[in-house]
Amino acid sequence: MIEVKDLVKTFGHITAVDGISFTVEKGEILGFLGPNGAGKSTTMKMITCFLSPTQGTVSVGGFDIIQDPIAVREQIGYLPESAPSYSEMTVTEFLRFMAEVRGFKGAERERRVAHAIELTALAEVRNQTIETLSKGYRQRTCFAQALIHDPPVLILDEPTDGLDPNQKHEVRQLIQGMRHQKTIILSTHILEEMEAVCSRALIISRGQIVADGTPDELAAMSRYHNAVTVRVRQADTEGLEAKLKLIDGVTKVAHQPGSETHAATYTMFPKSNRVILPEVTRFLEQHKIAVEEIFAERGRVDEVFREITQPQVNA
């Protein structure tokens, strides 16, 4: 559905996007992750034909952003990062305007406005001017305009930015609910959001793609993948660390001492990501060590993210 080919964008001496290529199919929710200034927004602005690329191109639904920008824009609903709108208009007026510019008239226009208001739960503020709304409502008003023409492609730049936890949850559900009919690209720097919403994620750093995979695949890149953590009462920790190291498959043990009230934790890292949970449980049984809690880690995306976006801190 979306095919990005060798996209480059330079602003003066600064290279914001440095040769990005990827494709997204219908039904996918692709997450852009990356530190601020990594080039996420710039890439989105090129896909939506707001900026023209220095090199490379994008095709959306078979139309090229350089040859056929109008056809591309017709297929896209776009929520910019700052969620702009005309502050002097009411929510309904604004959505009506966006519907009209998209070519809907009369009853069809009203139907679409009503539907967008319903989807984004804006009914109670529909007749308020946008300047009087809180950040969360403004964000959703701008989201509503992106949905008004029921586009096959949605480009959402930080769709949950500035929302409270309940609103975040609603917006995520809304996005999840649309996944089968649409192709969605969203950017975020909230890692849990990526794990909750996206079917696939790209980590972008300094204008380049540094990782591409499902949330599980990204987590598996972590040294915590398949690591086992146990919590043991402080009284039982005598000489435990040395013993744990002897378990087959364990390369390293990280220890966080506890106190009288808090249990101590030990994290055992496996050799080359192998599963060590059975060995660990067998060992604990044999040595009659009582644990308060034991679990195998899936991997920590935040750690992977830090490691690949700032290689110098790779410790």
CB of 9 vs other proteins, minimal distance in Å = 10
Q: Based on the shown chain and the rule CB under 8 A, indicate whether residue 63 belongs to the binding site for other proteins.
A: no
Q: Which tokens go with 38?
A: 């990594």
Q: Which is nearer to other proteins, 155 or 171 (CB)?
A: 155
Q: Based on the shown chain and the rule CB under 8 A, indicate whether residue 275 belongs to the binding site for other proteins.
A: no
CB of 157 vs other proteins, minimal distance in Å = 10
Q: Based on the shown chain and the rule CB under 8 A, indicate whether residue 45 belongs to the binding site for other proteins.
A: yes
Q: Which is nearer to other proteins, 21 or 82 (CB)?
A: 82
Q: Based on the shown chain and the rule CB under 8 A, indicate whether residue 74 belongs to the binding site for other proteins.
A: yes
User: Of 23, 52, 173, 214, which lies in the binding site for other proteins, with binding defined by CB under 8 A?
Assistant: 52
CB of 87 vs other proteins, minimal distance in Å = 7
User: Of 21, 23, 67, 87, which lies in the binding site for other proteins, with binding defined by CB under 8 A?
Assistant: 87
Contact 111, 119 (CB under 8 A): no
Q: Which tokens go with 117?
A: 């208001």
Tell me which long-range contacts 53-56 makes (C-beta under 8 A, separation of at least 24).
Answer: 53/7, 53/8, 53/9, 53/17, 54/8, 54/9, 54/10, 55/6, 55/7, 55/8, 56/4, 56/5, 56/6, 56/7, 56/8, 56/19, 56/20, 56/21
Contact 23, 47 (CB under 8 A): no
Stretch that binds other proteins, among 97-105, 197-205, 207-215, 245-253 (CB under 8 A): 97-105
Stretch that binds other proteins, among 16-24, 86-94, 225-233, 298-306 (CB under 8 A): 86-94
Number of DSSP helices (H) and strands (E) in the chain, helices first:
11, 14
CA distance 157 to 31: 10
Q: Which is nearer to other proteins, 106 or 165 (CB)?
A: 106
Site for other proteins in 130-169 (CB under 8 A): 142, 145
Q: Based on the shown chain and the rule CB under 8 A, indicate whether residue 309 belongs to the binding site for other proteins.
A: no
CB of 88 vs other proteins, minimal distance in Å = 4
Contact 91, 112 (CB under 8 A): no
Spell out the residues 6+ positions from residue 75 whose beta carbon is closer than 8 angstroms to its own.
60, 61, 63, 151, 152, 153
Q: Which residues bind other proteins (CB under 8 A)?
A: 11, 45, 48-52, 70-71, 73-74, 76, 78, 80, 82, 84-89, 97-98, 100-103, 142, 145
